[in-house]
Structure formats: C-alpha cells, structure tokens
C-alpha cells in the first residue's frame, strides 16, 4: 500500500520544502508544458498528494496532516524520470532503502488525469482554469431580485476613527484592470458593481504606485481584480450565498476590508507583451492553490507569487493567508465601512 510506502520513507532522509522565494533571487526557468500538465492534486485510497515542479524536477508532496491546507508541513519526495511519463520514487537512508514505480496517465489534451504509485491509482482533481470554468455559486435568488431586496439595507453603526479618502486607481501609470465583479466573469455569473472603476484609500493608492514601480524592474505590471467595494455590494454578495457557503464572505454586520477602501485584489502582467501572467491559481479559486503559502505549482509560479507578496509587504500591505491575491493596507488602524456608490465617485 502507498501509505505504508510513505510511512517507511518518512524514516529516511526527508527533502524539506524550501523557504519562500527571495525577491532578489534569480528568476527560475519555466517548467516545460508537458510536465506542467502533470502538476496538481491527486487523491485516492483516503490519501492526497501534490505533484509539483522544483528547479526542473518533479516531486511528490505528500500530506500526512489533515489540516495542512497549503502543504507547507508535507513531506517531499523526488521523482526520477525513466522515460516519458514513467518515474521512480525512491529514498535511501540508514533505516530503509525503498523505491516504487510511478506512472502518469493523460487525457487526449495531454493533461495528467491519474497517477499510479506502487500499483495504487490516484485521480487528478482539477481546479479553475486547468480544465474547468470559473468557480460558480448557485445563488439563493436571481441577482436582480436580490439587488431589489437590499435596497433599503443600512450599514452597522460606525465606531472606527478613520475614514478613507478614495482615489481612482486609473491615475497610476501602467496599471491594468480586470474587474471581475463589474462583469459576469465571477462566481455569481452576474455583476456586483454598476461601474468598472477601481478606488483605494489615498495612502494605499500611493503605496500601490510604489509597488508598481518596483515591479517594473522585474518586467511586471499590476492587474487589479478588485479594490474598494461599496457595503451594499458586499451585502448583495453575502445574501446571494447559500447557507452552507456563507463562510466564504464576512457577514455584512462585520463588513469587509474592501468596504473601507484599504483592500485590493491583484495579480501580475508582462510589461513587454501586455499579457496576464499565469499565476499559481485564478482569482477566487476555492482550492489549495488559493493559500498564500501553497507549496505546489512550479518554481516560477511560486517565485512570482512570493515576489508580489514581498514587494507589497515592503510598502505596508499585508497578504491574506487564505488568498495570495488579497492585500490589506494599514492594518494597525481602524477604518469606517463605506457605502459610496461608484457613480458618486470621480
């Protein structure tokens, strides 16, 4: 059994996960497409593991702790390639000398769909843009009906001492905008916003501009996915969620950091080509890849994500542990929730 194989290997020399990428480090080479198509989460026999790429080699990242959501505490075993999709997983130590054959099976597009280790088959779990569409929610009502329901909703009583001065992010040079909640290209399949504009608190916007300048040294620009969100838009999103999915968003009574004007969701694009960088996951993708410390993917994907996080941190932003793309500014101070419609902003 594969479980016994891994438990035996645990007694041997374990390959530990490397620390996050140094923002000043050398940019890794991209993983060849045929190997990238094998990367992902595989499950079966009550077990889960990742196939990931690190510096040109594939590894099994085996999760043995159930709540290790980002796989940072998992054990890592190298795969030695024999030919095409056949590998050996092996480990030699003072207590054991164990190896097993590993074989991948692909679909007609070349994506890995199963991994066979020691005679046990594990099925690939696909997420987001790999082979699926955007994450979709079956809303409690049609969105327009919900929009009418919340028209007279009022914000909770405000006690925070600070109020954001909202500025339009369009004034920052070289920003790109892919405002998913102003379109139907989101989990609700309908717009939350009536306008495709992005605003942040003035201090946060100035910090973001400094990040953009630093990223340009690496050949990257920023893509804005979401920024200031009027409170009623958050209320609409929350009411659209079925009861079993309410935990995906903060309750309107508490409010969201986006309502204060001090939160931004973003990604990277290539300054030379103008094309969006294929990051480690898509926006709002509910999978292990959403975590800020997710140990899977490719060396390049992790390096790009960690570079973004480090440069944002230098300028006073804090990355969410749950979402690598979400950053809050000035967490030390408390800001009031806002419900200013985009039509009232310049």
Look up the CATH number of the domain holding residue 54: 2.40.128.600
Same-domain status, 46 and 159 = no
* Other residues' Cβ atoms within 10 Å of the Cβ of residue 138: 10
Confidence band of 93 (pLDDT split at 50, 70, 90): very low
Same-domain status, 251 and 314 = yes
Percent of the chain past pLDDT 90, that is, above it, reads 80
Same-domain status, 118 and 179 = no
- For every residue of 235-283, which 3-state class applies, written as one string? HHHHHHCCHHHHHHCCCCCCCCHHHHCCEEEEEEEECCCCCECCCCCCC
Is 320 inside any structural domain?
yes
Confidence band of 7 (pLDDT split at 50, 70, 90): very low
Least-confidence region, from 5-14, 61-70, 266-275: 5-14
Is 134 inside any structural domain?
no
Cβ atoms of 168 and 197 within 8 Å: the answer is yes
Print the domain residue range for 79: 2-125
Average pLDDT over residues 97-121: 90
Confidence band of 92 (pLDDT split at 50, 70, 90): low
The residue written with tokens 């379109």 in the block is 183
**Mean pLDDT, the chain, whole residue set:** 90
Same-domain status, 100 and 208 = no
Confidence band of 133 (pLDDT split at 50, 70, 90): low
Number of domains in the chain: 2
Same-domain status, 331 and 217 = yes
pLDDT at 8: 40
Same-domain status, 204 and 334 = yes
Same-domain status, 262 and 337 = yes
pLDDT at 300: 97
Same-domain status, 114 and 232 = no
pLDDT at 91: 65
Same-domain status, 58 and 28 = yes
Distance CA 245, CA 217 (A): 41
pLDDT at 132: 60
Out of 67, 97, 125, a domain closes at 125
pLDDT at 1: 44
Cβ atoms of 119 and 35 within 8 Å: the answer is no
Distance CA 184, CA 180 (A): 7
The residue written with tokens 């009232």 in the block is 344
Same-domain status, 48 and 6 = yes
Confidence band of 307 (pLDDT split at 50, 70, 90): very high
pLDDT at 19: 46
Is 136 inside any structural domain?
no
C-alpha 215 chain-centroid distance: 19
C-alpha 217 chain-centroid distance: 23
Cβ atoms of 116 and 105 within 8 Å: the answer is yes
pLDDT at 17: 44
Same-domain status, 89 and 236 = no
Distance CA 227, CA 179 (A): 9
Spatial neighbors of 262 by CB under 8 A, at least 6 apart, are 164, 200, 201, 204, 328, 329, 330, 335
pLDDT in tens, 232-269: 999 999 999 999 999 999 999 999 999 999 999 999 99
Confidence band of 194 (pLDDT split at 50, 70, 90): confident
Is 19 inside any structural domain?
yes
Is 133 inside any structural domain?
no
Same-domain status, 52 and 171 = no
Out of 95, 125, 155, a domain closes at 125
pLDDT at 61: 95
């Amino acid at each position: 059994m594969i479980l016994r194989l891994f438990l035996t290997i645990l007694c041997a020399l374990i390959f530990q996960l490397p620390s996050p990428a140094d923002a000043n480090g050398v940019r890794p080479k991209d993983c060849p497409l045929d190997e990238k198509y094998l990367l992902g989460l595989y499950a079966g026999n009550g077990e889960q593991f990742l196939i990931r790429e690190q510096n040109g080699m594939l590894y099994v990242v085996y999760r043995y702790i159930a709540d290790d959501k980002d796989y940072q505490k998992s054990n890592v075993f190298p795969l030695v390639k024999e030919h095409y999709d056949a590998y050996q997983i092996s480990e030699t130590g003072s207590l054991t000398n164990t190896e097993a054959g590993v074989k991948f099976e692909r679909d007609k597009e070349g994506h890995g769909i199963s991994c066979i280790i020691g005679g046990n088959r594990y099925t690939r779990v696909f997420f987001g843009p790999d082979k699926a569409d955007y994450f979709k929610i079956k809303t409690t009502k049609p969105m327009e009906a919900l929009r009418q329901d919340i028209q007279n909703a009022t914000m909770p009583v405000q006690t925070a001492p600070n109020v954001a001065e909202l500025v339009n992010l369009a004034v920052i040079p070289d920003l790109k905008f892919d405002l998913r909640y102003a379109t139907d290209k989101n989990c609700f399949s309908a717009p939350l916003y009536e306008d495709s504009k992005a605003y942040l608190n003035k201090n946060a916007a100035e910090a973001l501009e400094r990040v953009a300048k630093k990223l340009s040294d690496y050949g990257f620009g920023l893509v804005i996915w979401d920024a200031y969100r009027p409170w009623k838009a958050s209320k609409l999103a929350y009411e659209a969620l079925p009861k079993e999915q309410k935990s995906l968003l903060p309750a309107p009574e508490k409010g969201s950091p986006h309502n204060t004007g001090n939160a931004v969701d973003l990604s990277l694009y290539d300054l030379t080509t103008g094309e969006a960088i294929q990051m480690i996951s898509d926006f709002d993708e509910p999978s292990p890849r959403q975590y800020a410390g997710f140990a899977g993917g490719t060396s390049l994907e992790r390096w790009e994500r960690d570079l973004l996080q480090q440069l944002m941190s230098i300028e006073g932003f804090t990355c969410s542990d749950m979402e690598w793309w979400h950053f809050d500014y000035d967490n030390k101070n408390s800001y009031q929730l806002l419900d200013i419609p985009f039509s009232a902003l310049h």
